[in-house]
Amino acid sequence: METTTINTSAVRSAALINGIIWGAISIVLFLVIYYIAPELLGSWIGSSITFLVGIGLAVFFCLDLRKHAGGYWNFSQALLNIFIMFLVSTAISYFFTIIFSKYIEPEYAVRMKDMMMENVESTYRSVGLESSQIDENMSKMSAELDKTLNPNFSQIIVGFGISATLYFIGALIFAAIFKKERPIFFKTEE
């Protein structure tokens, strides 16, 4: 079986550039939502918008990477380059969010916590939990949200590791979808 030869450095640099562009788009989307419609940040609508934009960008950039690979690449080539792109994008948006909440807009963490607490409390009330159970669950959630929204250095590293693992799983799925083997009887021009 013939292995597919691709211009590895061109595809790798395209993966890095696409990851940087994707990360920048994610930051812009976050800032637009935060400053124009902050009520969407803690809601399923905002999460859905962000998710759909992310899937659309992933598809677009995966197709672009395959084009840079000459139109054909095997699973392992697709996986490596898609994962690089996903990891760069994730690193940019993840660390920007931390820097944003710690140094640029310190009230971000407070606003997010308040919105999440309100959403969860209304959910608890709608399912009919007693006030004592709601208070107990809300105090536990408050402590967890403090850790999540104001992480220390080790929590940042662990959080990024978890994100990287999840994006690797996503890269596995996208590589399976976007791999395209060269046909067996493909003639190459010499």
Asked whether residue 189 carries a pLDDT value surpassing 60, the answer given is no
Q: How confident is the model at residue 100 (pLDDT cuts 50, 70, 90)?
A: very high
HEC string of the chain equals: CCCCCCCHHHHHHHHHHHHHHHHHHHHHHHHHHHHHCHHHCCCHHHHHHHHHHHHHHHHHHHHHHHHHCCCCECHHHHHHHHHHHHHHHHHHHHHHHHHHHHHHCCHHHHHHHHHHHHHHHHHHHHCCCCHHHHHHHHHHHHHHHHHHHCCCHHHHHHHHHHHHHHHHHHHHHHHHHHCECCCCCCCCCC
Q: For residue range 117-163, what is the model confidence (pLDDT) as tens digits?
A: 888 888 888 888 888 888 888 888 888 888 777 888 998 999 999 99
Asked whether residue 187 carries a pLDDT value surpassing 80, the answer given is no
Q: What's the pTM value of the predicted model, to 2 decimals?
A: 0.81
What is the average pLDDT across 109-118?
A: 84
